[in-house]
Amino acid sequence: MSKKTWVPLLVVFAVMVGAALLALRSVAAQEHHAAVGYEDTPMLPGGKWHVHDGKRPQPKVITPGTCSSQQSPGQPPSDATVLFDGKDLSNWESIKGGPAGWKVEDGYAEVVAGAGDIRTRQEFGDMQLHLEWREPTPPKGESQERGNSGVFLIGAYEIQVLDAYNNITYPDGQTGAVYGQYPPFVNACRPPGEWQTYDIIFTVPRFQNGELKTPAYVTVLQNGVAVQNHSKLLGDTGHRILATYVTKASQGPLRLQDHGNKVRYRNIWVRTLGSNSNE
Ligand code: MG
């Protein structure tokens, strides 16, 4: 056999051996998986799983995202629903009807005063939300008139967006506040012109026959700092009102506020969350 013939054959043989070894490793890994855990341990409440039950479904493997820098947004995790990637607002619409009328350029969307709030076309329930915003610079206005916008969870519950850097306002209207309900634990604002982040875990309210069964809860990290921890919402947020649950819905769109200030947004994504259960 010539050298020309056996060299390719050798390569094919090596590839086949490699594939066989990989398959064996996979089988071995599965066998190892089956052997983990215990079945002689107490049952967890719910009656389906033992403590340390090895047969319990393994959590899905995902690729985590990366952190953003001032220069560029990070990468969302692999199982996120990306709502705005800096290119267009096709996942959004105006609450007045029709396409979202905000400006998109250089990887961000900017509020156009008078264009109105925008909301996602898709609705969400329990969720993890990530978004980034940047306040206008140089700053203009005082108190609530400086860099005001907002993130409305399922369209009804506002986490305030404001330029509260060297800007005093009423505490339950500050950045990181559940508007009109809870001030943030701290003022974690960056100066205007710098990108800031919100990471929000939201549990929707549940209703039964039109009555509130369980309230909404929200946890908020601003720039990596916890500013709300499992805060129990009193109801739909609003200006100069005591909140009550008016919107009796357990899902809705994400809505961003046009308060007349040129706030910019980028890197918006959500992950739908399940609930922990042993059933
Ligand atoms: Mg606002």
- What is the DSSP annotation of 8-65? HHHHHHHHHHHHHHHHHHHHHHHHHHHHSS-SSSPBPTTSS-BTT-TTSPPPPP----
CA of 148 to the centre of ligand 1 (A): 5
CA of 177 to the centre of ligand 1 (A): 10
> What is the pLDDT, as a whole number, of residue 99?
97
CA of 276 to the centre of ligand 1 (A): 32
CA of 69 to the centre of ligand 1 (A): 25
CA of 212 to the centre of ligand 1 (A): 26
Give the predicted TM-score (pTM) of the model.
0.86
Environment class of 73 (CB within 10 Å of its CB; exposed 0-12, middle 13-18, buried 19+): buried
Distance CA 94, CA 18 (A): 55
Per-residue pLDDT of the chain (279 residues; tens, 9 = 90+): 555 566 666 656 665 665 555 555 544 544 455 589 999 999 999 889 999 999 999 999 999 999 999 999 999 999 999 999 999 999 999 999 999 999 999 999 999 999 999 999 999 999 999 999 999 999 999 999 999 999 999 999 999 999 999 999 999 999 999 999 999 999 999 999 999 999 999 999 999 999 999 999 999 999 999 999 999 999 999 999 999 999 999 999 999 999 999 999 999 999 999 877 777
Distance CA 226, CA 95 (A): 30
CA of 66 to the centre of ligand 1 (A): 28
Distance CA 163, CA 190 (A): 9
Nearest to 33 by CA among 63, 61, 57: 57
CB atoms within 10 A of CB 124: 22
Determine if residue 261 is left, alpha or beta; phi over 0 gives left, psi from -120 to 50 gives alpha, anything else beta: beta
Which DSSP state fits 111? Answer: -
CA of 86 to the centre of ligand 1 (A): 22
**What is residue 7's three-state secondary structure?**
helix
Domains and CATH numbers, the chain: 81-272 (2.60.120.560)
CA of 75 to the centre of ligand 1 (A): 27
Environment class of 215 (CB within 10 Å of its CB; exposed 0-12, middle 13-18, buried 19+): middle
Environment class of 37 (CB within 10 Å of its CB; exposed 0-12, middle 13-18, buried 19+): middle
How far from 18 is each of 8, 13, 15, 21, 24, CA to CA, in Å? Answer: 15, 9, 5, 5, 10
CA of 133 to the centre of ligand 1 (A): 13
> What is the pLDDT, as a whole number, of residue 171?
98
CA of 142 to the centre of ligand 1 (A): 14
**What is residue 277's three-state secondary structure?**
coil
